[in-house]
Amino acid sequence: MGVIEKWHHMMTTRSFEALDELLAEDAIMYSPVVFTPQKGKYITKMYLAAAGHVIGNENFKYTSEIIGERQACLEFETEIEGKYVNGVDLITWNDDEKITEFKVMIRPLQAVNVVWQEMGKLLEKMKS
């Protein structure tokens, strides 16, 4: 099973422990709600798990994907608190099939705002 298949399985089952296997030690997360890149496996895992809980709700679905040799672009849609969310996950992985870079881009602005609020709440809980 390749990186993207593992990713889809994790999102479908909501078993975010799989991030331990999927992420490289030097993984970097680029979040639409945080100004600076989040560097390292631990912080990347925390942000991706939070995003998975907030964005990957019962309304979440991938609508299209473009997959290359070491990169993929996965477009998604969901709804959070009555707000339509559309975005893309840009995923890069290494020869060991470990994710090295993960970028999330979201639109429209109202969606970014609701994701920011909900992720902030969840990350505070995760840190304590």
CA 25, 29, 34 angle in degrees (round to 5)? 140
Name the region of 14 (left: φ>0; alpha: ψ -120 to 50; beta: rest).
left
Give the side-chain half-sphere CA count within 13 A for 28. 8
The tally of CA atoms less than 13 A away on the side-chain side of residue 94 is 12
Q: Spell out the per-residue pLDDT of the chain, length 128, in tens.
A: 799 999 999 999 989 999 999 999 999 999 888 889 999 999 999 989 888 888 888 899 999 999 999 999 999 999 998 999 999 999 999 999 999 999 999 999 888 888 877 877 777 776 66
Domain 3-127 has CATH 3.10.450.50: yes
pTM of the model: 0.89
